Amino acid sequence: MFYQTDIRELQPGLTPFPTEVFACGQAWLAAHLLPLISVDLGILRPALAGNVATMLCPVEPYEGCLGEETEAHHNACIGTNWIAFELTTDNRMRFLGEEGYFLGSNVQAPELVEHIGEMRDSYARAKAYFKDHGRLASYSHFGEGGPNEQAYLDTLGGQISDGNWTETAPIPPAFELWLDPLMYERDQAADAENVRITRAGRPFFAVATVAGYNWCATGPDAIVMLYEPDSRTVLFSFDWT
């Protein structure tokens, strides 16, 4: 099984700050999601070479969880702290919800507007730093105003790891989540599968995780990115430790 941590050197198949990410008719997604790095899934599973999914960071919430105030726009694939996409055959990300899911589409509270502006500005500065230096640096709340070089990804591949994200909010009904009740037992095998997520019985596999603040002013402690090949579903959840 392919597994790497603390990805600071780019390899073929990893492209930071990708363009032309969102599906036709969904250009509005660029107002709500920042494309961090695209991943050729063939890195993880050779049979999927050429299928390229993109790690995304939401520009909201400024407090709470993504989607928790927009329940009217949830559906079978989208819920509080969970968003899903179909990876199209031309490697675009097609959101399986509607724009009203994002609070920023219909709320202009000063705190939210300020937060989104800070997220977008710090992302633009990180993109410029990468263009000039060929490395990732964030301008996060945890620095002192200057660039702080970071890993592109915290993990790439491996198994789906447990975290607060598995319990923060129920998984949308199109998916099933199973947690091993013995996951914290000392005698459990190191390679045991502790978390299993499926769609129509078909399992997702772990693509990558990264902290939002590796790239932006702030964000989740872990953006968790999963993929199910048969339905071409890219599923995200967010860990707030």
- Cβ count near 142 (within 10 Å): 10
Exposure of 145 by Cβ count < 10 A (0-12 exposed, 13-18 middle, 19+ buried)? exposed
Name the token pair of 220: 């989740």
Residue 210: the pLDDT is 98
Residue 142: the pLDDT is 65
Q: Rounded to whole angstroms, how far apart are CA atoms 94 and 146? A: 35
Parts of the chain with a pLDDT under 50: 186
Q: Where are the domains of the chain?
A: 3-239
Provide the whole-model pTM.
0.94
Q: What is the mean pLDDT of the chain?
A: 92
Residue 186: the pLDDT is 46
- Name the residue among 212, 179, 165 with its Cα closest to residue 65: 165
Q: What is the pLDDT of residues 131-178, one digit of tens each?
A: 999 999 999 766 566 899 999 999 999 999 899 999 999 999 999 999
